[in-house]
A and B are shown apart, each in its own frame.
Chain A
Amino acid sequence: MREDRLGPYSPAGEEKIATGFKRREFLKRSALAGGGMVLGQRLLTDGGASTLDAMVAPQTVSEKVAVRLRVNGSNYGLSLDPRVSLLDLLREQLDLPGTKKGCNHGQCGACTVLVNGRRINSCLALAVIHDGSEITTVEGLARGDELHPLQAAFIRHEGFQCGYCTSGQICSAVAMLREVEQGTASHVTSDVRRQGRVELTDEEIRERMSGNICRCGAYPGIVAAVREASGKNERGA
């Protein structure tokens, strides 16, 4: 699966990545594969009113798409069902379970990863859309045995209790400190018209980390860890 080069993207005006075949065909195939049971259940839950013909109305089936990704410095050439989220790809196919599945609906931030250096929710990202991207997960932050300053700060300040949201918190914080360096404003920034670097108060940290929910309520430790790591960055450490 892993390979060492990223191929160029084909620049055609429209590249048909996947052409579906009809649902009728899919049902035939899945019936052969023992999918008859599922179909039977569907008919029952539909109250038996639907005829088989109505149910096998034309519908496409996902065909696999070639995707190349660079994850934590390693290149991957993959063939993916377009339905696969970046989160599921990382956890289930690339053996990187550090990224967590919390709500799976973009409401908790446990699945936060960096795509080309920017934090996003990997649960709401189709892997195929990120073809050619560079992904960093929590597994890619440390340098050998040396923890990333934010990882070390989270341990020092107990920025967690159960730990499930932690990898998302840390990835989010890594990107957040970069955003601050770039002079971005936040909802609590008093005047967005004034450009330049915003002072990272605790209020700013809380707002900028608000996309990561911690059900244990370890927020004081999280804020302390981020505050400390931001100071380190300032001193260039």
Chain B
Amino acid sequence: MKPFAYTRVTNNQAAVQAVLREQTAKFIAGGTNLIDLMKENIEHPNQLVDINRLDLARIEEHNGGLRLGALGRNSDTANNRLVRERYPLVSQAILAGASPQLRNAATNGGNLMQRTRCYYFYDVAMPCNKRQPGSGCGALEGFNRIHAIFGASRQCIATHPSDFCVALAALDAVVQVEGPQGARSIPFADFHRLPGDTPEIDTNLKRDELIVAIDLPAASSVFAAHSYYLKVRDRASYAFALVSVGAALDVQDGTIRQARVALGGVAHKPWRAKEAELILTGARADEQTFRRAAGAAMQDAHGYEHNSFKIELGKRAIVRALTVAAVKGEQDESKNE
């Protein structure tokens, strides 16, 4: 690991100013991704600004919804009583990711900032436009089994690895950030980017901006009774998604009033399947509807040599996630009666 200076901050503006002063400085919180990348010489900041002592770990009621502090640990967020009650999709998604040890260290803000697990990104001997712009994409014609089927470019076909972010995308979360000019809100759909010609830039967060919180809107708690996170991976636990589905339904008398479908493991960002949501809205909550929605979601998917299986897998995963989400609530209701 290359040498770096280490600075601790105890207020948000001190954190922002510290990163502003040093061109390659980075914030560090849980460090579960950044330290690994530094060991591999993929990230080499000359300064780490330790933000762990900032007062940003709380989970609070906010405008009828919940405000998740950026420094809340993933495990605490997943197990927060209010998150479990009102936004179970968030709990399910977090608990599907990583391991208990990693979730105890990883923070909510850091989860948004984690980088792709593309093998070519991790292997400094290989070309990768994300790691070294202009060097080429090793995955495009290489071993691309885990790669994107949506929104990729000739420069990069990497995927975003987070489960948590799939739930946040489905529930229209809002990211609260603070920079040198003050605070701003970023709708979740605009937080992560598609690779285009600049795959080295993962998000629309500026270098000197600090994530302070993630808001779950009040309106999205309507899905609490009918939501399900399905993760398909190479082993039963502790592996990244090949395909994951965050499904959330608002069902009354068998009719879907509102629906959200977001996919993980398929794009450079958490992928909202708006076409599927259009089909689901107003339709009967049955298998036929779910199949049509899944077909619509995958209509524009593009497979590469080793990952075309994700298109059929994605369809089946969507049908299953929607089926479980629809049935799950019914079971719960019958238990309550």
Given the interface pairs A17-B7, A82-B6, A211-B100, the reply to whether A105 lies near B84 with Cβ below 8 Å is: no
* A residues near B7, Cβ cutoff 8 Å: 14-18
A18 touches B100 (CB 8 A): no
Is A187 within 8 A of B88, CB to CB?
A: no
Query: Complex: how many Å from CA A136 to CA B85?
Result: 33
In the complex, identify which listed stretch (B42-50, B211-219, B249-257, B288-296) lies at the interface while the others stay far away: B42-50
Residue contact B46 to A185, C-beta cutoff 8 Å: no
Cα(A175)–Cα(B224), bound, Å: 29
Q: Is B62 an interface position by the 8 A CB rule?
A: no
Instruction: Decide if B197 is an interface residue (CB 8 Å cutoff).
Output: no
A15 to B4, CA, bound (A): 16
Q: How far is the CB of A199 from chain B (nearest CB, A)?
A: 16
| Of the residues B3, B9, B85, B237, contact of A193 by C-beta under 8 Å | B85
With A105-B39, A129-B31, A179-B100 as contacts: A186 and B95 at CB distance below 8 Å: yes
Which of A60, A85, A184 contacts B79, CB < 8 Å?
A184
Within 8 Å of chain B (Cβ to Cβ): is A210? yes
> What residues of chain A lie closer than 8 Å to B32, measured between beta carbons?
106, 121, 124
Q: Look across to chain B and name the residue whose beta carbon is closest to the beta carbon of A63.
A: B5
What is the distance, in angstroms, from A133's C-beta to the closest C-beta of chain B? Answer: 11
Q: State whether the Cβ of B105 lies closer than 8 Å to any Cβ in chain A.
A: yes
Q: Which residues of B contact A186 (CB under 8 A)?
A: 95
Contact of A13 with B11 at beta-carbon distance under 8 Å, contacts A60-B3, A126-B31 already known: yes
Given contacts A17-B7, A18-B5, A65-B6, contact A192 B88 (CB under 8 A): yes
Candidate in B18, B95, B328 with the most chain A CB atoms within 10 angstroms = B95
CA distance A83 to B32 in the complex (A): 14
User: Given A120-B104, A207-B237, are A185 and B5 also a contact pair (CB < 8 Å)?
Assistant: no
Among A62, A129, A185, A206, find the residue whose CB has the most chain B CB atoms closer than 10 A. Answer: A129
B238 engages A210 (CB within 8 Å): yes
Cβ of A35 under 8 Å from chain B: no
Please name all residues of chain A whose beta carbon is closer than 8 Å to the beta carbon of B39 when the two chains form the complex.
104-105
Q: Which of A112, A128, A185 contacts B91 (CB 8 A)?
A: A185
User: Does the CB pair A172–B224 fall under 8 Å?
Assistant: no
Q: Which of A61-91 contact B (CB under 8 A)?
A: 61-63, 65, 82-83, 85
Q: A124-B35, A124-B36, A192-B84 are in contact. Are A211 and B6 (CB under 8 A)?
A: no
Q: Is A176 an interface residue, CB under 8 A from the partner? A: yes
Among candidates A59, A118, A175, A211, residue contacting B238 with C-beta atoms closer than 8 Å:
A211
Set of chain B residues within 8 Å of A106, measured between Cβ atoms = 32, 36, 101-102
Most A-side CB within 10 Å, residue of B17, B48, B99, B102: B99
A82 touches which of B48, B84, B91, B328 (Cβ 8 Å): B48
A191 touches B332 (CB 8 A): yes
Residue of B3, B35, B98, B99 near A126 (CB, 8 A) is B35
| Contact pick for A109, options B35, B101, B236, CB 8 Å | B101
| Interface: B81 (CB within 8 A) | yes
Which residues of chain B have C-beta atoms less than 8 A from A20's C-beta?
Answer: 3-5, 46-47
Nearest residue (CB) in A for B103 is A211
Q: Are A121 and B6 in contact (CB under 8 A)?
A: no
Can you pick out 17 interface pairs between chain A and chain B where the beta carbons lie within 8 Å of each other? A12-B10, A13-B11, A14-B7, A14-B14, A18-B6, A20-B5, A59-B46, A82-B4, A82-B5, A112-B101, A119-B100, A120-B101, A124-B32, A184-B79, A185-B95, A186-B95, A213-B238
* Further pairs besides A187-B92, A207-B237: 18, Cβ < 8 Å: A13-B9, A14-B18, A20-B46, A62-B3, A83-B4, A106-B32, A121-B99, A121-B105, A124-B105, A125-B105, A126-B28, A183-B79, A185-B78, A185-B79, A186-B95, A187-B237, A211-B100, A211-B101
What are the nearest 7 A-B pairs in CB distance? A211-B99, A210-B237, A82-B6, A14-B14, A62-B3, A20-B5, A61-B3
Chain B residues proximal to chain A, CB less than 8 Å:
1-11, 14, 17-18, 28, 31-32, 35-36, 39, 46-48, 50, 52, 75, 78-79, 81, 84-85, 88, 91-92, 95-96, 98-102, 104-105, 224, 236-238, 328, 332
